[in-house]
Amino acid sequence: MDKSLKFSLSYFNIFVIVTFLIMLLEAFIPLSPIAYSVLLLIVVLGAYHINHLPTALLYFILFTLESQFYISAGTVAMHISYLSDLLLIAMIAKLLLSYQVQKLPTFLKLAFWIWVIFFTIGFLTNMVVTTTPLLYVFGLRNNVRFIALFLISSIVLNKSLISKFWSLFSIAFLFNALQVVIQYLVYGFTMDKIGGIFGTTIGSANTYMHIFLLVYVVMAVVYNHYNKLNFLNLVSIVAVVIFISAIAELKIMFIELIVVLLLSYLYGQLTWRKIANLGVLFLIFGALFSVAIPILYQLFPDFNNFFSLSKIIQTATNSYTGQQDLSRLFAISDINKFFFHWALLPNLFGIGLGSAEVSNTSLLMSQFYLANSSSHYDWFSLAFLFIETGFLGLVLYLMPFGICWYILLKSRARDSYHSLSLVLLTLIPVIMMYNNTLRIDAVYMLAIPLSFGISSLLDS
């Protein structure tokens, strides 16, 4: 294994292990005072290290990795998740006060201003169509945090600091597997009730665990391609991911594993040895799939033949629940059928950022959602974004990521971090179509690794 990926018992890693051990105990004996103490301590330590933003980022992502478990268990109030907003605002303020913006490369400045235009047009459309400024602020919060964390991480991280996130994610991966075993064998949970370290709440835990597993397996495959992670470790990680995917009904992971493997080699350094290695990995993946897929079918008979091409196409294009709601692949067409009726202005600008917001707080619940919740547009980031910002909003939102993808692709000194970001950037449209990850706290687990390539490029 490459030296940069060797695990060390640093003070931070010891702290992480202790907090996850406490979480294991909480799985059997839930105690609110301990849960609150752990989460508040993580936030306080993040705030304490605000003068060193990379360390603050570590505590920030640790809070994301742990808070959902306690919220799901009911040992803390769900509003505790807003502490991450406060920490993010503090990091933004620190960056603006300490970093000279003029030093940013041209492509990042361009990306920043395109996003500013995106949010400005979203505000103006909101004022014209629904005139709900409070909802705009809430919509701004739900959309800007992914972008803000991506930019902060891109600017403040460097190659020597990036490896610390691999250690953090690896510890979390181990304890996630342990929590999944407990949820499955001890409590008898299956499908959406299995969320590992992210709890057992149907509709959220599974979503958090999906993006965590996806990002971690991308890191593992890319690092193996660049000889930073040995072959046995990679196969072990993939085997665990496949096992979890089978019992948690994460069918999409089986397809994503193949896509990730292909993209990692497409964006990596190709040699005959690497091509041979790819062939061996496909054989191993195939062997693991041949064991896991029958288990999936046995546990969930309704998914029999799910991995046939016709079934995959049917799942992507049909109504998600079969009850006149949106489909993933044809969401834009469905939105026009149900709401916009191919009118020019709504298709171009949407109904305004924030105008379709959803919240547990009635004050932040939009009239659009109350009238159209049965369409389940809020389950998919792409559909949600199109309703609020139209085609123009989609283009402006994705364009900066496209610029970063192009810059990394053209880089002559491509390293593992460049390839990692290229793979994740390519997957963003897929993630947008698949679920609502980009609108919830789970997106933080994507934002930081997504920035590694940019950080490495700036560090060079």
On the question of pLDDT at 22 being above 50, the answer is yes
At 308 the pLDDT is 58
Q: Is residue 378 part of a domain?
A: yes
Q: Is residue 11 part of a domain?
A: yes
Over range 128-136, report the average pLDDT.
92
At 142 the pLDDT is 94
Confidence of residue 306 (pLDDT cuts 50, 70, 90): low
353-371: per-residue pLDDT in tens? Answer: 999 999 888 888 999 999 9
Q: Is residue 106 part of a domain?
A: yes
On the question of pLDDT at 305 being above 70, the answer is no
Confidence of residue 163 (pLDDT cuts 50, 70, 90): confident
Domains held by the chain: number = 1
At 360 the pLDDT is 83
Over range 9-14, report the average pLDDT.
87
403-417: per-residue pLDDT in tens? Answer: 999 999 988 777 889
173-208: per-residue pLDDT in tens? Answer: 999 999 999 998 888 887 788 899 999 888 788 899
Percent of the chain with pLDDT over 70: 92
Q: Is residue 334 part of a domain?
A: no
* Closest C-alpha to 219, from 439, 356, 419: 419
Domain hosting residue 24, numbered range: 3-320+374-459
At 5 the pLDDT is 66
Across the chain, mean pLDDT equals 88
Q: Is residue 337 part of a domain?
A: no
Tell me which of 98-112, 272-286, 402-416 is least confident: 272-286
Q: Is residue 311 part of a domain?
A: yes
Over range 148-162, report the average pLDDT.
90
Confidence of residue 304 (pLDDT cuts 50, 70, 90): low
At 350 the pLDDT is 93
- DSSP secondary structure letters along 197-259: GG-S-TTTHHHHHHHHHHHHHHHHHHHHHTTSS-HHHHHHHHHHHHHHHHHTT-HHHHHHHHH
Confidence of residue 3 (pLDDT cuts 50, 70, 90): very low
Q: Is residue 435 part of a domain?
A: yes
Confidence of residue 41 (pLDDT cuts 50, 70, 90): very high
* Full-model pTM: 0.90
Q: Is residue 369 part of a domain?
A: no
Measured between alpha carbons, how far is 180 from 158 in angstroms, rounded to an integer?
33
On the question of pLDDT at 68 being above 80, the answer is yes
Over range 305-329, report the average pLDDT.
65
Is the model more confident about 302 or about 459?
459
CA–chain centroid gap for 431, Å, is 8
At 136 the pLDDT is 95
> Residue 326 in contact with residue 380, Cβ under 8 Å?
yes
At 96 the pLDDT is 87
Amino acid letter, residue 80: I
Over range 146-160, report the average pLDDT.
91
Is the model more confident about 307 or about 275?
275
At 252 the pLDDT is 84
Question: What tokens were used for 75?
Answer: 């040992």
Confidence of residue 2 (pLDDT cuts 50, 70, 90): very low
Q: At what angle do helices 83-98 and 32-48 cross, to 10 degrees?
A: 10
Residue with tokens 């008979």: 301
Tell me which of 104-108, 421-425, 440-444 is least confident: 104-108
